[in-house]
């Protein structure tokens, strides 16, 4: 019996929770699924599943084999998809998640070109400053401008953007321009997502300043609006500022003390089959965003 069929049947039974469900998933018969798993056990000389009339359960050896063989099957499926994608038109749904402000400034302007290149892609774009659970939200590709802590995700860094401390020209004319991070305690600082400890770096080492003000928000968009309106000083990544007239009056300060940068990363969910369409969309954004940032 074909080893690939044996392996596919075994994994389908484990994930479906039984032979009948696995057969429906594979489009075959229950007896064929059972024969495939039995042949696999016989070839390996070890029992992989404990069977009962109502359910199946992995043996310790079966669990080890499942954990080792599942990634192999995924790699084979991925190779098949990549080859098929190279000769077939890119099409189908792709759900993208991006931060609100960054998405509005840098992702949305790219969508017409992407859809012109691949008109059969069906995009579902979610803009939010909330960090999504990619698998739970059904996200195929996340675009993030922040440290990426998901060690089990596939991360592709395409650029970086420095943090900036900024306010409007009008604000600094009224309240003065800070020359040292500690002077921020005398200013109205606009707080994003509860981050009241602003980190800087000087000749003597790291500097942390506890800031506060009369405006806080969980969106960068609100902080930027406050900065542009002359309400106070904000800290955010430089990619949030553009060449637009509304940002012409925004001035960065304390540049010599702001050393931290943020990675612009493209993230796929972990342990998940990545289609050729998603890979093509990822390649598109990797190239285009690197040009913009």
Please state the rounded mean pLDDT for residues 117-121: 93
Please state the rounded mean pLDDT for residues 12-39: 87
159 and 49 within one domain: no
198 and 78 within one domain: no
* pTM confidence score: 0.63
197 and 173 within one domain: yes
Angle in degrees, CA 243, 249, 254, rounded to 5: 95
158 and 74 within one domain: no
Q: What DSSP character marks residue 268?
A: E
CATH number of the domain residue 178 falls in? 3.40.190.290
pLDDT of residue 147: 63
Residue range of the domain that includes 32: 3-87
Instruction: Determine the distance from the C-alpha atom of residue 175 to the mean position of all C-alpha atoms in its chain, rounded to a whole number.
Output: 39
pLDDT of residue 73: 81
292 and 163 within one domain: yes
Q: For residue 205, what are the β-bridge partners?
A: 202
Please state the rounded mean pLDDT for residues 40-55: 88
| 146: pLDDT strictly greater than 90 | no
137 and 82 within one domain: no
Element spanning 95, H or E:
strand 92-98
107 and 79 within one domain: no
* CB distance 239 to 264 below 8 Å: yes
Please state the rounded mean pLDDT for residues 202-209: 90
* pLDDT-above-90 percentage for the chain: 49
pLDDT of residue 1: 53
Query: How many domains in the chain?
Result: 2
> pLDDT tens for residues 259-280?
777 888 999 886 556 788 888 9
Domain boundary among 87, 104, 119: 87
95 and 82 within one domain: no
Domain boundary among 31, 54, 87: 87
Residues 6 or more apart whose CB falls under 8 angstroms from that of 63 comprise: none
Domain boundary among 87, 111, 137: 87
Please state the rounded mean pLDDT for residues 30-58: 89
235 and 210 within one domain: yes
CATH number of the domain residue 42 falls in? 1.10.10.10
Q: What's the CA gap between 189 and 212, in Å, rounded?
A: 5
């Amino acid at each position: 019996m074909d080893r690939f069929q044996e392996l596919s049947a075994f994994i389908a039974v484990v994930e479906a929770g039984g032979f009948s469900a696995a057969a429906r998933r594979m489009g075959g018969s229950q007896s064929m699924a059972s024969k495939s798993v039995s042949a696999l056990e016989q070839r390996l000389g070890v029992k992989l599943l404990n069977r009962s009339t109502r359910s199946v359960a992995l043996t310790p050896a079966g669990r080890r084999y499942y954990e080792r063989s599942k990634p192999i099957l995924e790699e084979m499926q991925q190779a098949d998809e990549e080859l098929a994608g190279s000769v077939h038109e890119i099409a189908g749904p792709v759900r993208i998640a991006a931060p609100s402000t960054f998405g509005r400034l840098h992702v949305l302007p790219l969508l017409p070109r992407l859809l012109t290149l691949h008109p059969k892609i069906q995009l579902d774009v979610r803009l939010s400053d909330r960090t999504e659970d990619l698998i739970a939200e059904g996200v195929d590709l996340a675009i993030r401008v922040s440290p990426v802590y998901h060690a089990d995700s596939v991360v592709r860094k395409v650029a970086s953007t420095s943090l900036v401390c900024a306010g409007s020209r009008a604000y600094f004319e009224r309240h003065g321009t800070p020359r040292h991070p500690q002077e921020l305690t005398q200013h109205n600082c606009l707080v994003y997502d509860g981050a009241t400890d602003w980190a800087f770096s000087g000749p003597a080492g790291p500097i942390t300043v506890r800031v506060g003000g009369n405006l806080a928000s969980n969106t960068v968009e609100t902080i930027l609006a406050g900065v542009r309106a002359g309400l106070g000083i904000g800290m955010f990544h430089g990619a949030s500022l553009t060449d637009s007239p509304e940002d012409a009056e925004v001035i960065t300060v304390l540049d010599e003390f702001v050393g931290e940068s943020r990675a612009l990363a493209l993230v796929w969910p972990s342990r998940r089959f990545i289609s050729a369409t998603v890979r093509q969309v990822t390649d598109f954004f990797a190239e285009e965003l690197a040009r913009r940032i």
